[in-house]
């Protein structure tokens, strides 16, 4: 799409009138809830229809991150804020460095809390954001635009492609309505919104679901999960300390006091603690073994010992 994007968007799927909600202002609260529940079922189908593209995104992103690349989410308004939310959850959930998964929101930090939708109209600002973040051929850039026309996102994707990054587009309109040049094109077709044009609804829900799957799937591929346990959890508060201790207790059969001693001996690193226990290693030896296997716990454990299968 060129830099001069047409402002008329009434033909887009995300802007159309939903016949199921034409009497929305006449519904009772319970009827409103039921209508939302009915319409939200379409988000599940939208994800299912895009399963291959989402899986490909997981595959290529994990590959780039293994080689030192970064993942960037780029968007404006609701779409951009969803990217910020997903990026912000990665460090505490998977103990990733803050630079590994980043969000670029049109309008910057101020736009996170205050509506700044006008900033999305600049193709050049999107391109400049990619340059200022030093995006290169090692990185992955996911552009998020529900209606598919956001100039800021188009500019970012165009510049990212120029820099050699893998580009992914996530939108909620059919390809025949809007073309988005990208290596992977994810279309989440949730249909017209209950409140016409309000893409924070079904489109936002489906986008959040897709981002959940992508980031979690990538971290699974990077070895930050053992079974379905969050073994790379960052122990930074009482809730996460309790989660770390429960993981150790569940997987080792140790009592809470024993698990606590082991966790602190590992410098609050769950994967290191498990290696120390299962392979009778010191913290330094366990850390070294993990480094040999790029932090992948299962591969490190299978080095010369087969631990119990997680329940």
Catalytic annotation, residues: 89, 120
- CA separation (Å) from 73 to 40, 106, 263? 24, 11, 34
| Nearest by Cα to 36 from 197, 194, 200 | 194
Our separate counts of H helices and E strands in the chain read 12, 5
What is the token pair recorded at 175? 């390809």
- Cβ pair 234, 95 in contact under 8 A: yes
The beta strands (E) that lie in 135-249 are given as: 140-144, 166-171, 184-187
Q: How far apart are CA 57 and CA 63, in angstroms?
A: 10
- Phi, psi angle pair for 228, to nearest 5°: -120, 25
Helices (H), 50-118: 51-66, 77-94, 110-113
Radius of gyration of the chain from Cα atoms? 22
User: Cα angle at 67 between 61 and 73, to 5 degrees?
Assistant: 35
What pairs with residue 101 in β-bridges?
71
What is the token pair recorded at 68? 């030192």
Q: What is the 3-state secondary structure (H, E, C) of 229-260?
A: ECCCCCCCCHHHHHHHHHHHHHHHCCCHHHHH
How many Cα atoms within 13 Å fall on the side-chain side of residue 256? 4
């Amino acid at each position: 799409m060129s830099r001069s994007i047409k402002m008329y968007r009434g033909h887009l799927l995300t802007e159309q009138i939903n016949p199921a909600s034409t009497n929305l202002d006449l519904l009772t609260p319970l009827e409103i809830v039921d209508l939302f529940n009915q319409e939200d079922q379409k988000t599940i189908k939208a994800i299912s229809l895009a399963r291959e593209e989402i899986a490909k995104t997981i595959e290529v992103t994990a590959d780039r991150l293994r080689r030192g690349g970064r993942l960037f989410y780029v968007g404006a308004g609701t779409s951009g804020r969803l990217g910020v939310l997903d990026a912000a959850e990665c460090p505490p959930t998977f103990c990733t460095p803050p630079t590994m998964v980043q969000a670029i929101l049109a309008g910057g930090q101020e736009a996170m809390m205050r509506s700044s939708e006008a900033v999305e109209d600049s193709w050049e600002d999107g391109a400049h954001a990619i340059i200022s973040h030093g995006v290169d051929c090692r990185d992955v850039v996911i552009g998020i635009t529900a209606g598919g026309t956001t100039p800021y996102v188009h500019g970012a994707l165009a510049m990212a492609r120029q820099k050699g990054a893998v580009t992914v587009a996530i939108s909620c309109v059919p390809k025949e309505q809007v073309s988005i040049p990208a290596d992977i094109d994810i279309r989440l077709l949730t249909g017209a919104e209950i409140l016409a044009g309000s893409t924070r609804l079904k489109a936002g829900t489906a986008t959040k679901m897709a981002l959940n799957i992508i980031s979690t799937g990538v971290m699974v591929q990077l070895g930050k999960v053992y079974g379905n346990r969050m073994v790379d959890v960052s122990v930074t508060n009482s809730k996460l300390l309790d989660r770390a201790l429960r993981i150790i207790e569940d997987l080792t059969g140790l009592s809470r006091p024993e698990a606590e001693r082991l966790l602190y001996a590992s410098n609050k690193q769950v994967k290191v603690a498990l290696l120390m226990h299962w392979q009778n290693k010191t913290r330094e030896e366990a850390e070294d073994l993990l480094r040999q296997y790029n932090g992948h716990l299962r591969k490190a454990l299978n080095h010369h010992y087969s631990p119990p299968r997680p329940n």
